Copies of this chain bind each other. A is one copy, B any other.
Amino acid sequence: MDTTTGAGPVLAGLMQDDFPLTLAHPLERMRSCFGAREIVTLEDEEGRTARSSYAAVCERVDRLANALRALGVQRGDRVATFAWNSQRHFELYFAVPCAGAVLHTANIRLSAEQILYTLDHAGDRVVFVDASLVETLAQIAPRARTVETWVVMGETADAAALPNAVGYEELLAAQPPACDYPRLDERAAAALCYTSGTTGPPKGVLYSHRSITLHAAGTLMADSMAISSEDRILSVVPMFHVNAWGVPFAAALSGAQLVMPSRFLSPQPLARLIERERCTVMHAVPTLFADLLRHAREAHPDLSSLRNCISGGAAVPKTLMQALEAEHGAHVWQAWGMTETSPVCAVSRPPERLRDTDPERYWELRACAGRIVPLVEARVAGEDGAPLPAGDARAGELQVRGPWVARAYFDPEPDAEERFADDWLRTGDIACLDAGGWLRITDRAKDVIKSGGEWISSVELECELVAHPLVAEAAVVAIPDERWSERPLACIVPAGDEAPDAEELATHLRARVPRWWVPERFVAVDALPHTSTGKLDKKRLRAQLADGTLATRDRVGGAR
């Protein structure tokens, strides 16, 4: 590669390129410009809230960074959170990376074994856990080899269930309210998030200080999420997902205020928060917007403050977008991204003038995955794998690159799928990219199932099914679902003459995977289609299911 480091000795190094893009910047900005801003956390079902200023948050971040040092956390060590969205989780988002450690936001929705896998794989030394989630961790804590300290956030009678547990508030109270932070390189690792998006065990995606800072700055752009200092954001996307789309960092950069729903994610408490806190922005998966709209039609909360709803994880039906606009004046903007892309790579904000001049085109653009945002580059690979020329709107695998796109997994398993080639991330999504940079996802990554915005690993379900004595082979594919977008359908080849019954298979799975992964439908077949190299051919299987040519032995029937 023909790379130069500068334009010769005279010209090099005269700009403040050494001003590092680290999270020290948003933290200091929050402190020096937005001390009076507020973060609100919902505390119970009665709607009680805890309120704090950003100035107070900064002081607590300082204490927390000191506490990490006192716990022996070193530069580059991993520190996990196991928590809902709250002020404390927000504090950890800054204290851990600014102290030089790596924030691993463990996914509370994985199975116990998967959680244990990620804690082990990350090598977490300290885990910060919400009191309400202690019970989940208690069963695996004794087997978490690398964890030395469990820090419990909030009051619980269960704290003793964790070995060597300490209280969050006690930890902070013991430290001074000011911290001498290390000066970090912008390429230092800041955060780690596991994706169970494709095949095999969860894979870790590592974010640098630079990638997070640039991504957060990107969310402030007028054609992206356009977060501004005037906003009050209802932060619904769980903070264990892809840094919750950069919103906590964007809030610190812009001075936008934050409203944290904690574990109360049903429409009623969310609507009450919007009404009482006058939220202007929220971000969530489409299912949640649909639920909120249904609830609002019955309970009539005042959602008039809501202007921008950022939706990601799956496509939003046009009718839902139009209803939210008509009934509440709230615009749903679709965004596209994935854990590997920090995540925001595209946002669907078409020119507003099209609304009147060409409403069909306007809504076509509103319904697509969005336009690729500044600083991200995208291309589509044709059938031969070579990139299509710009403006060629044929479908193919979407590839992206940019300063917030991963180029490798963190310490991947030897047999992990290869997603990275020629500096481009192969997204696994089939898409069209038109001459205006507008992205339309035409097909899902080949094997994954996305249910309610969450990935379900078909391979893992297959492994567990095959582990059942009466199952010889299994293939799990997505079927459309009105409420969840997709649900898994399991096809099994019975090991003997008799197919196991659906309830038995479901019970078997419930003990091994997250409850919501368990398929509602099971189908027994004589044989599954295979590729020439002997791998399951799910493409053919889906086609056979669709046109009814799959030779089913009998329907095992619904399990729930």
Residues of chain A at the chain B interface (Cβ within 8 Å): 1-8, 10-19, 21, 25, 28-29, 31-36, 75-77, 100-102, 182-189, 205-208, 210-211, 213, 217-218, 220-223, 226-230, 253-255, 351-353, 371-372, 374-375, 377, 390-391, 401-411, 423, 435-437
Contacts and interface: CB of A to CB of B under 8 A. Distances in A.
Contacts of A391: 32, 35
Contacts of A29: 374, 377, 437
A218 B405 CA distance: 19
Main secondary structure of the interface of A (DSSP, over half): loop
B223 A223 contact: no
Given A13-B187, A33-B437, A220 B377 contact: no
Contacts of A186: 17
A408 B184 CA distance: 22
A207 B15 contact: yes
Given A4-B185, A217-B218, A435 B36 contact: yes
A35 B437 CA distance: 10
Contacts of A102: 7, 11
Nearest to A7: B76
Contacts of A7: 75-77, 100-102, 188-189
Query: What are the 10 tightest A-B residue pairs by CB atom distance, in nearest-first order?
Result: A7-B76, A33-B437, A32-B390, A11-B189, A222-B228, A7-B189, A220-B221, A14-B206, A253-B374, A15-B208
Contact of A371 (B12, B17, B33): B33
Nearest to A221: B220
Contact of A33 (B36, B352, B403, B436): B436
Contacts of A31: 390
A17 B423 contact: no
Nearest to A403: B19
Given A11-B76, A12-B188, A15-B207, 16 more contacts: A2-B183, A3-B183, A7-B189, A14-B409, A15-B210, A16-B401, A17-B210, A18-B407, A18-B423, A25-B375, A25-B377, A29-B374, A32-B377, A34-B437, A35-B435, A220-B374
